[in-house]
Structure 1
Amino acid sequence: MAIEPSGLDACTAHLKTCLKNIHQVIQKANEILCSISQPSVCSEVLQSSRGADYISGVVEVYRLSKRMEGGMRTRNIDCERLRLVLRDIELSWNNLQAFLSICPSLLQALPSQSALEDVAEGVFSDSSPCLQSCCGVCLLDRSVEKLSSEEKNCMINIGGRLYHPSCANFWLHCVDSTLPNLACHSNCSACVKLNKDEL
């Protein structure tokens, strides 16, 4: 069962908005590092505690884009507009890694590309997973995430929706002051059961 057209449009708009903001954050990091003319000064900035914290935050933003890729795979969302934004994110990320190469200790501290790609692994399915069981931002269903049980259990419930803390944090600080709450498809058996239980 695929997501209904109106639900697909809402999911696509949601994903595009978030991915564009992710791209802006990574692009801004590139602009900041590019504005430092001396490699030695750039290395000094990156090795400072504030610089390392900043890059750590940018890495977490990039990780969110990979989770969103996984959410798209899980929901069989394949849209040219989203592929273009994901491509732009990858180009900006690769460019940022080139800057980080002047600071090998920081580059080594980054998660491996394979670890980041694992986050993007979604499970293709003929059915559309219930939106109530996934993160309201990245749309990745926690049952298909390649995360430890401790990481899966750290999702937070806000207003009856689940969110990864880092996803909710990004959305609230970089997208909108209200967390997203996408409606599930009308044939979702989990939502139908939930609605019956509430009666």
Structure 2
Amino acid sequence: MAIEPALLDTCTTHLKTCLKNIHKVIQKANEILSSISQPSVCSEVLLSSQGADYISGVVEVYRLSKRMEGGMRMHNINCERLRLVLRDVDLSWNNLQAFLSICPSLIQTMPSQSSLDSGAEGASSDPSPCLQSCCGVCLLDTPVVEFPSEGRTSMLNTGVRSYHPSCANFWLHCVDSTLPIVACHSNCSACVKVNKDL
């Protein structure tokens, strides 16, 4: 079942805004690294603790784009505008990886592409999954591994919506000072059940 047109417009706008900001962050990293003319200096910057922390943050931002891709798949949001922004994010990410390749020891600490892509796996067997049970930013409904050494991360609950901690962090620092709240569709069986129980 397709999402209602008004809700689809809201979701599309929300996702596009976040993805454009993800693209800006990755593009900025590309600009910073491309401004360093000497590969040895670039390598030194990337291997410094501050450089490694910065790249680690950029990796988490890219990981969010993959989770958003999974949320789109889970809710059957198929929009050309979003596909174009996702393509731009991936192109910037691939360009960034070319800079990172000059630092083999840094590449070894990076997550594999398959682990990044696993966030994009989000097809749902439910024809109209509940948006209320999903992260208000990426639209995925399951806890994600924020930091592998710490295992799965629980969702932050604001009383109105739940969010993955890294999704909420990115939104508040790079998109808007207010977390997004996307209403659920009118034919959501989970929301109907909750309302009946009240």
TM-score (norm 2): 0.93
**Distance in structure 2 (CA, Å) of the matches to 1:93 and 1:4:** 33
**Distance in structure 2 (CA, Å) of the matches to 1:9 and 1:71:** 15
**Distance in structure 1 (CA, Å) of the matches to 2:68 and 2:136:** 11
1:55 aligned partner? 55
**Distance in structure 2 (CA, Å) of the matches to 1:189 and 1:128:** 8
Q: Please report the RMSD computed on the Cα atoms of aligned residues, expressed in angstroms.
A: 1.8
Q: Which runs of 5+ in 1 are unaligned?
A: none
SS in 1 for 2:132: helix
Counterpart residue type for residue 72 of structure 1:
M
* 2:193 pairs with 1:193: yes
1:105 aligned partner? 105
Contact 1:27 1:92 in 2 (8 A): yes
SS in 1 for 2:157: strand
CA 94–154 in structure 1, closer or farther in 2 if over 3 Å, else same: same
Counterpart residue type for residue 157 of structure 2:
N
* 2:95 pairs with 1:95: yes
Task: Report deviation, 1:124.
Answer: 4.3
Percent identity, please: 79
CA 126–154 in structure 1, closer or farther in 2 if over 3 Å, else same: closer
SS in 2 for 1:133: coil
**After superposition, where does 1:20-31 map in structure 2 within 5 Å?**
20-31=20-31
Task: Report deviation, 1:3.
Answer: 1.1
2:137 aligned partner? 137
SS in 2 for 1:132: coil
**Distance in structure 2 (CA, Å) of the matches to 1:23 and 1:161:** 25
Task: Report deviation, 1:131.
Answer: 0.9
Task: Report deviation, 1:122.
Answer: 1.1
TM-score (norm 1): 0.93
SS in 1 for 2:87: helix
Q: Deviations over 1:124-171 (max 9, x none)?
A: 44612111111100001218x7999x51x5111013211000000000
**After superposition, where does 1:147-162 map in structure 2 within 5 Å?**
150-151=151-152, 153-162=153-162
**Distance in structure 2 (CA, Å) of the matches to 1:126 and 1:43:** 47
Counterpart residue type for residue 176 of structure 1:
D
Contact 1:129 1:141 in 2 (8 A): no
* Aligned residue pair count: 195
Counterpart residue type for residue 18 of structure 1:
C
